[in-house]
Amino acid sequence: MALKTWKELPIGCVVSEPGSASEYHTGSWRSQRPVWDNQKCIKCGICYVFCPEGCVQQMEDGFFQADMDYCKGCGICAHECWPRAIKMIEEG
Q: What residues make contact with other proteins under the rule CB under 8 A?
A: 3-7, 9-26, 29-30, 42, 44-46, 48-55, 58, 67, 69-70, 72-76, 78-80, 82, 88
Alpha-carbon distance of 15 to 80, in angstroms, equals 35
Alpha-carbon distance of 64 to 57, in angstroms, equals 6
The answer to whether 19 touches 62, Cβ cutoff 8 Å, is no
Residues 38-57 that bind ligand SF4 (CB under 6 A): 41-47, 51, 53, 55-56
Number of neighbouring beta carbons within 10 Å of residue 78 = 20
Name which of 9 and 59 has its Cβ closer to ligand SF4: 59
Residues that bind ligand SF4 (CB under 6 A): 34, 36, 41-47, 51, 53, 55-56, 64, 66, 71-77, 81, 83, 85-86
